[in-house]
Structure 1
Amino acid sequence: MRKHPRASSSVVSLLLAALLGACAEDSLPLDRPKPTAFHPVEVPAKAELASTPGFADQAGGGVFATASGSLVRLRLDGSLGALEPHPGNTVAAGTIKAVFRLGPHSAVVEAQNGLFVAESGWLIAPSWRDALGAGVTATAQSADGAGWLAHSSGLYHLQEGTLTALKVNGNAITGITALAAAPVADGSPGVWFLQQEGKLSVAVPTGATTYQVREVSPPLEEGEVVESLTALGPAVGAPGELWLLTSQGLLRRAKEGWRRIDLGERPAQLLAAGRFLWVKSADSLLVFDADANNWGVATDLDTRELRFLAADEAGTAWVQLGGQSVAVSRAPVPRVTGLYQGMQVVEDGLVAHAVPPPGTPPESLYFQVDGVDVPTAGPLYSLGGSEADGTPKAYSLAGLEAGRHALAVVARFADGTEAKRSVPFEYQPVVAEALGWDKDIRPIHESRCAKCHTTSPGRPLNTYQLWKANAALITAAVRDKRMPADGPMDPQLITRIQRWAASGAKP
């Protein structure tokens, strides 16, 4: 992977001023939010979790290390789900040390015997694990779907099952304590990383396999240093944004530039997923809903021993409170299955379901597509309704223009209150040009699928006839990032498979 050499200091200064639009300290906008108090919904985990990072799934639940060193898959109600070693593994994981997010449905697991991937109830030994042992400090997923791993030996880019070290002038980038994916000032995607002693940098793509690493000087006050960072994802009409936790407070880098956030007391921990930001201060637990542009502060919650474990895109944070592990949310919200945050949809039809929030059943449940109500009925709560035999129908997206849209599910209760979950997605409808298996799909099978799907351990998929017969299963698996087993597939290849299937699965 070719990297650009560092420019001279004068050029870097001019470039950063134009790129990042840093404001002078005396002109930095200041926000003083007034959080609304809420009584948090708490769901205790039915397992004693370790005080190490975990992974939370936006459909509910997640994967965590236990205090005894095992790995568990938790559901949103706190109960345990299935999680087993993959039959194709040649090594046992051993004691589990930590879990890091890799994609919408997958996580990197650092274990006694190296790195593994947790995916769809399986603990998988990926092919790239031999190149990288224990020592992961942070992970992120960039806008192109690639995984990024900060490791004690350097910064690594994971795409198409290939692990590549990102270097500057031939030198590994070490000492990284935090990673986050957020755009730079011109809208280009960036992967931001924080190194020891508060050094902030961003890697910006300059080609398919090349990146430029730029050191960044955020608008800090005298003696202020950056301690951690995180990012909010994009939504309809809003790009992603970077958040910094400093020795004096919070800095937010949104579309219009840097802003300082004064919460009244100094934050101590920061965590984000989707459009929700969680902040732990000395005495409070706060949450910022970027879509609603409001802050909330939890009441009746002793935060003195609170520690973040993970957060999901639906607004739930998994935390440790003293000796107990708890899923905390501002209010119960419905969930969406069949669609995840930022997913690219290429079929004209979308099959999605709503899962009502736990607790009191809602009086009604309905979807919204770009704000337009779409009624639905239980028990399936299918977006497109269902056939007479109960088979869910696909909802037609043909009337939507290509681009970013939002699907929301809203639960209305008898007392007049509502609970809402909004999921932004990209709609890129199938083009007229038909794709062929031999020309377009066979190379994907050979590079990403043949290892497991020629004879074993997965079902054979090594011919056109087998791909066509299993097209629906294959597209669902790659779309939901459940396959390939060794890491998320490049979004362009996922789209190619979806387009091939949607346009007739031609030979």
Structure 2
Amino acid sequence: MLLCAALLSGACGDDAPPGSDPTKPAPFKATQVPSSQGLAPAHGFADQSGGGIFATPTGGAVRLRLDGTKAALAAHPQNKATLGSVSATFRLGPHSALVETNSGLFLADQGWLIEPLWQEVLGTGIVATAQTADGAAWLAHPTGLYQLQGGTLASLKLSGQALSGITTMTAAPAEDGLPGLWFAREGKLNVVVASAPGVYQVRGSDAPLGNGETVEALAGISAGTGTPGEVWVLTSTRVLRRNPEGWSTVELPSRPEQLMGAGRFLWARAGGQLYTYDADAKVWGVAEGLPSGTPTLLAVDETGCAWVDVNGQAMAVTKAPVPRVTGLHQGMLVVEDGLALRATLPPGPAPQSVAFQLDAEAEIASTGPLFSLGGLEADEATLKPYSLATLAPGAHTLSVVSRFEDGTEARRAVPFTYQPLTTTPGYARDIRPIHEARCAKCHTTSPGRPLNTYDLWKSNAQLISAAVRDLRMPADGPLDPQGIALIQRWVASGALP
């Protein structure tokens, strides 16, 4: 169990309403990509690379691509438990999801549904999940609040008691700017912050909730380059927003029934319409041209895309046909001085041009069909890495923009942190302990490919680096940021023994 020093301070009181933040949503014709598969109106997972993992109306799990078609997804042959009927899916990392079924929980990764070792500890009934800045995944369950880090599931307790009864949760900075995990319990708002490694405080919030006003949903907006994240709160009477300037009330045409955030975007369903907020541009929009009926938000991703169900028709909805970036995800820690990056275009009209931009530097034009930032090798099929050697360590943003004949453009901006190599790790000293602690149970003989020797690690070095960097492996939960950086440094410095 994870025991912590816990502090419950502050209270939700009778403060006067905070300043008003009126919105002026601009109508936009929604870009829609219908799904080839009907989806259940249940919580889903949307991948920022496109597509996602969702429950179907018949109780199955489906993995969708950017164009709405189905991709491979099957129960792993080494699972002991049967999959059962799927009720919902939840985010665990940038490209991985937690699938809840009536027979238990499964991790969805690279086309497999994998039974985690900790499944028996936690039964069904997941309320919400979130991932904090330290790479930990958090699971709110009727029995308490759990942290999944390093492949280990642990319970966070307050004064020795489980934090049961959580109704909604999101990751966003605390009121003092520290990385936080916000949750609502018994209608009130609290935030978890790390006071030391492995030690957490549970704080009350100074959110100005009135008498009888309760918290119904939380949504987080992540940090951008030089811009902090925010927490948004849907209460029984209004929408509250907390940014560095403090709390304010957000005035939409009507109070939302749903509120979801991912990356720098927020989506809300209110009065039968879908509203979206772009935190970088600081503008609101309201979607037009959707099929008649009341939309249900299933999931949202960091590109500003929402997956919705309207009268049984599932579709991806965006403000514009935004290109996706592969090889880099939101908030990623990059230690290599070269990355193979490409843009993937959504279905629809082809743009006149596609270009990349790193910070405020000049644009770099890219050509199809691969749209590689670094260009292609002589075989015209392998992406060349783009050199980051001239970048200063710290926060940066990579953007890719598509421009169309009618003068419009669609942009995807991906903030990341660059920390170039400063050490030269070795396999025996640095990597083998990670393998034995986190990888050996699946990658000695089966079910994964064997990786139980230095030679096998070296020959698979690029695949391993990509899998841990994208938080797709290990299968029972991602490594901590230090472990991920160590493997990347080992690969980038020549995979020494």
Q: TM-score, normalised by structure 2?
A: 0.96
Q: In structure 2, what residue type is equivalent to 1:406?
A: T
- Note the C-alpha offset of 1:388: 2.2
Q: What is the Cα-based RMSD across aligned positions, in Å? A: 1.7
Following superposition, the deviation at residue 5 of structure 1 comes to: 4.5
Q: Is the 8 A contact 1:54 1:98 kept in 2?
A: yes
User: Is it true that 1:70 corresponds to 2:71 in the alignment?
Assistant: no
Check the 8 A contact 2:277/2:284 in 1, yes or no: yes
Aligned to 2:115: 125
Q: Distance in 2 between matches of 1:459 and 1:205?
A: 36
**1:74-113 C-alpha deviation (Å, 9 max, x unpaired):** 1122211110111221222111111111110111111121
Residue 473 of structure 1 aligns to a residue in which SS?
A: helix
Equivalents in 1 of 2:300, 2:261: separation in Å? 6
The structural deviation recorded for 1:424 is 0.8
Question: Structure 1 CA distance, aligned partners of 2:6 and 2:322?
Answer: 48
Picking from 405, 409, 414, the partner of 1:418 is 409
Q: Give the C-alpha shift of residue 152 in structure 1.
A: 1.0
Matching of residue 232 in structure 1 with residue 221 in structure 2: yes
Q: Secondary structure, in 3 states, of the residue corresponding to 1:267?
A: coil
Match of 2:420 in 1: 429
1:159 is aligned with what amino acid? Answer: Q
Partner of residue 267, structure 2: 278
Q: Give the one of 155, 174, 199 matched to 1:210.
A: 199
Q: CA deviation at 1:248?
A: 1.9
Which aligned pairs between 1:364-403 and structure 2 lie closer than 5 A? 364-372=353-361, 373-390=363-380, 391-403=382-394
Identity %: 56
2:351 alignment partner in structure 1: 362
Is the aligned partner of 1:407 residue 2:398?
yes
Q: Deviations over 1:128-164 (max 9, x none)?
A: 1121111111100011111100011110000011000
Structure 1 residue 302 displacement after superposition: 6.0
Quote the Cα distance in structure 1 between the aligned partners of 2:159 and 2:76: 39
Which of residues 117, 124, 137 in structure 2 aligns to 1:134? 124
- 1:165-180 → structure 2 map (5 Å cutoff): 165-180=155-170
CA distance in 2 between partners of 1:438 and 1:360 (Å): 52
Separation in 2, partners of 1:180, 1:270:
11
Matching of residue 48 in structure 1 with residue 49 in structure 2: no
| 1:2 counterpart residue number | 3
Between Structure 1 and Structure 2, the one with more helix by share is 1
1:316 corresponds in structure 2 to 305
The answer to whether the 8 A contact 1:345-1:427 is kept is yes
2:127 aligns to what SS in structure 1?
Answer: strand
Aligned letter for 2:139? L
Equivalent residue of 1:25, what SS?
Answer: coil
Which deviates further from its counterpart, 148-157 or 78-87?
Answer: 78-87
- C-alpha distance in 2 between matches for 1:500 and 1:303: 54
Q: Name which of 103, 110, 113 aligns with 2:93.
A: 103
Structure 2 Cα separation of the partners of residues 268 and 246 of structure 1: 10
Query: Which residue number corresponds to residue 145 of structure 2?
Result: 155
Structure 1 runs of 4+ aligned residues shifted over 3 Å read 300-304
Of 22, 25, 42, which residue of structure 1 is paired with 2:16?
25
SS of 1:445 mapped into structure 2: helix
| Residues 5 and 348 (structure 1), Cα distance of their counterparts in 2 relative to 1, 3 Å cut | closer
Q: Which amino acid aligns with 2:5?
A: H
Q: Distance in 1 between matches of 2:453 and 2:289?
A: 60
- Cα distance in 2 for residues equivalent to 1:330 and 1:423: 17
The AA in structure 2 aligned to 1:274 is G
Contact 1:282 1:303 in 2 (8 A): no
**CA apart distance, 1:59:** 0.7
Q: Distance in 2 between matches of 1:114 and 1:471?
A: 33
Cα pair 2:174 2:181 within 8 Å, conserved: no
For 1:33 and 1:334, the matched residues in 2 are separated by 27
The answer (yes or no) to whether the contact 2:225–2:395 under 8 Å persists in 1 is yes
Q: State the shift of 1:64 in Å.
A: 0.6
**5+ unaligned residues in a row in structure 1: which ranges?**
none
**In 1, distance between residues paired with 2:421 and 2:297?**
41
| AA aligned opposite 2:116 | P
1:469 Cα shift?
1.7
C-alpha contact (below 8 Å) 1:282/1:304 kept by paired residues: no
Mapped pair 1:325 → 2:325: no
Q: Deviations over 1:43-74 (max 9, x none)?
A: 22222211210111001101011110011111
* 2:257 counterpart SS class: strand
1:347 pairs with one of 333, 336, 341: 336
- Structure 2 residue aligned with 1:476, among 466, 478, 483? 466
Shift of 1:320: 1.3
Name the CA distance, whole Å, in 1 between partners of 2:452 and 2:306: 42
Letter in structure 2 aligned against 1:111 = T
Aligned counterparts of 1:43 and 1:468: Cα–Cα separation in 2: 41
Q: Do the aligned partners of residues 169 and 353 (structure 1) sit closer, same or farther apart at CA in structure 2, a change above 3 Å counting?
A: same
Report the count of equivalent residues.
Answer: 494
Match of 1:250 among 239, 256, 266: 239
Q: Any idea what the Cα deviations from partners look like across 1:285-326, whole Å, max 9, x if unmatched?
A: 100011111000112446753211111111111111122222
Distance change (3 Å), C-alpha of 1:303 and 1:168: farther
Q: What residue in structure 2 maps to residue 199 of structure 1?
A: 188
**Counterparts of 2:194 and 2:169, CA distance in 1:** 16
Alpha-carbon spacing, 1:302–1:175, altered in 2? closer, same or farther (3 Å): farther
Do the aligned partners of 1:356 and 1:365 also contact (CA within 8 Å) in 2? no
Residues 23 and 292 of structure 1: is their aligned pair in 2 closer, same or farther, counting only changes over 3 Å? Answer: farther
Q: Which amino acid aligns with 1:41?
A: T
C-alpha change, 1:344 and 1:466, in structure 2 (3 Å) is: same
Could you tell me how far apart the structure 2 residues matched to 1:428 and 1:155 are? 32
CA-to-partner distance for each residue in 1:324-364, whole Å, 9 max, x for gaps?
Answer: 22211111111111111111110000111011232111111
Cα shift at 1:117: 0.4
User: Which stretch shows the higher mean deviation, 81-90 or 138-147?
Assistant: 81-90
Give the 3 Å change call, closer, same or farther, for CA 302–468 of structure 1 in structure 2: closer
Deviation of 1:472 (Å): 0.9
Change (3 A) 1:347 1:6: closer
- TM-score, normalisation: structure 1: 0.94
Q: Deviations over 1:223-264 (max 9, x none)?
A: 432211110111101111100001221111012211111113
